[in-house]
Copies of this chain bind each other. A is one copy, B any other.
Amino acid sequence: MSDALLSTLLGILGPRGLLTEPSEIAPFVTDFRDRRTGTALAVALPATVEEAAATVRAVTGAGLPVFPQGGNTGLCYGAVPRRGVVIALRRLNRMREADAGSGLLSVDAGMTLTEVHAAAEALGLQFPLHLGAEGTAQIGGLISTNAGGTAVFRYGAMRDLVAGVEVVLADGQVFSDMKGLRKDNTGYPLSQLFCGAEGTLGLVTGAVLRLHPRMNARAHAWLALDTPEAALEAGARIRAAFGTTVEALELIDRNEALYVLAHVPGNRLPFDTAPAYSLMVEIAGNGSDSALSGQLEEVLAGIFEDGLVRDAIIAQNEKQGAEIWHFRHSVTEANKLNGIGVVLDTSVRPSAIPGFIAAADAVTAERFPEAERCIVCHMADGNVHYIVMFPFEAWARFPDAEAKEIEVEEAIHDVAARFGGSFSAEHGIGRKLTSEMARLVDPLKIEMMQRLRLAFDPEGLMNPGALLPR
């Protein structure tokens, strides 16, 4: 049967659109960190929506599963296939339409985030989602994982930035919701349903993206604080003063600052010693940089007077602003060089951040005494990347590293759950966290999702094994 299918696929896709050699397939069946490897009969590289639809129809028609893949930059193995056909969209990567007057960009799902940024800028607008893998990550994957980033509290996550999608359903029909309307109440929000569905409801082939005005003025500050409570209060004051123009409120702890200083050249601390907590602030609005910085200085003066802040600096020019964010963006590299960090993607309500951190610290101290904790937190949206950091030597001594990783994850996920939080804020579920779905998510919610999934894909052939527990 698989020979017949391959010959059908070859007819649909042509030789450039179908990979079957093990060496060609290899990069598509392993995640980019080389942690998990799957198998696939073939990799389909459709160049048009019609080819994508015909491919899905042929594969599911043969009773085999489809594994959609974007830039393969996911952290949760959501794109690692198992005995079916991978459909990767790198050849479906054209911009379809730019509508500057409406602030909309219609794109193929295979465009990278960086390409979308450039297209938005060419229109004098911005697409406000940013993340580390933006040069490789594709729009379809970002939609399917409902990607987040540092500006979610201002602009929303991917789901909020998508005006509509085009999707190939399990039976090969193409659902197109590409009108790009801001207000449309003709029924259920199907497009939003595909955002974060990790390919289990269909293969996203296109999208209309919402662009935002560009900001022409910026101010940056770095606050030194003693506690998460103080950071929270300072953040609330800044938001009350600046309203919707707050662009970033990023919190890191002392350990994280020390790792950056130790491992990533070109970073320096603007304070004598590393503060217990650093809150990095960006305001982006209109007018002039200096006016915005002046306003920020005023607000910080008030926070200072009330004893919330130990120290603070405001960037006096673009270079100093860039230095703050270079420091912040060095954390991933620093952590990799520092040890084995088990990075949690937990989120709680912002008001619960201090309690969550204290409780997680207690668990870490008791159960993982070899480890330090460090924290990278998108504070305004409650997304705390609590990181349990093991020295390389300690990690090497664990007989089963994967079991240890799971042990850490479960322990901290339990703390998040106790504080009403989530164990998956922005990295997705993939194939890594489906057992946590079964363990921690309300069984009624799981049941409703299963029913919904079967309504769209009765045979369960779209990315089986991802997102939902079996």
Contacts and interface: CB of A to CB of B under 8 A. Distances in A.
Interface of A: 99-104, 124, 145-146, 148, 152-154, 156-157, 159-160, 169, 173, 175-177, 179-190, 192-193, 195-197, 201, 212-215, 232, 236, 239-245, 284-287, 295, 347-352, 378, 380-383, 420-429, 437, 440-442, 444-446, 448-449, 451-452, 454-456, 467-468
A392 to B, nearest CB: 30
12 contacts: A99-B349, A99-B351, A102-B382, A148-B183, A154-B244, A157-B183, A160-B160, A183-B426, A184-B347, A187-B468, A189-B193, A215-B243
B185 A425 contact: yes
Contacts of A99: 349, 351
Contacts of A102: 349-352, 382
A455 B451 CA distance: 6
Q: Which of A160, A184, A350 has the most CB of B within 10 A?
A: A184
Contacts of A441: 186-187
A323 to B, nearest CB: 25
Nearest to A101: B351
A152 B183 CA distance: 8
Contact of A188 (B101, B183, B197, B349): B197
B287 A295 contact: yes
A232 B152 contact: no
A286 B351 contact: no
Contacts of A187: 196, 429, 437, 441, 445-446, 449, 467-468
Given A101-B236, A245-B286, A437-B187, A382 B181 contact: yes
A13 B414 CA distance: 38
Given A102-B349, A188-B197, A192-B192, A422 B245 contact: no
Contacts of A101: 232, 236, 349-351
A189 B190 CA distance: 10
Contacts of A427: 185
Contact of A429 (B185, B349, B380): B185
- Tallying the copies of this chain within the complex gives 2
A17 B138 CA distance: 54
Contacts of A157: 183
Nearest to A425: B183
Contact of A189 (B152, B159, B245, B350): B159
A445 B177 contact: yes
A241 B214 CA distance: 9
Contacts of A383: 182-183
B422 A179 contact: yes
Given A244-B244, A351-B99, A183 B422 contact: yes
Contacts of A285: 243-245, 285
A232 B103 CA distance: 12
Given A101-B351, A193-B193, 16 more contacts: A99-B349, A100-B351, A101-B350, A102-B350, A103-B350, A175-B448, A183-B422, A185-B196, A185-B428, A186-B423, A186-B424, A186-B437, A189-B192, A245-B286, A451-B455, A455-B455
A171 to B, nearest CB: 10
Nearest to A99: B351
Nearest to A450: B455
Nearest to A239: B213
A385 to B, nearest CB: 11
A152 B181 CA distance: 12
A193 B455 CA distance: 14
A308 to B, nearest CB: 14
A347 B182 contact: yes
A437 B177 CA distance: 15
A246 to B, nearest CB: 8
Contacts of A437: 186-187
A345 B448 CA distance: 33
Contact of A243 (B245, B378, B381): B245
Contacts of A451: 455-456
Nearest to A283: B286
Contact of A153 (B182, B185, B428): B182
A157 B175 CA distance: 24
B242 A286 contact: yes
B181 A422 contact: yes
A173 to B, nearest CB: 6
Contacts of A378: 183
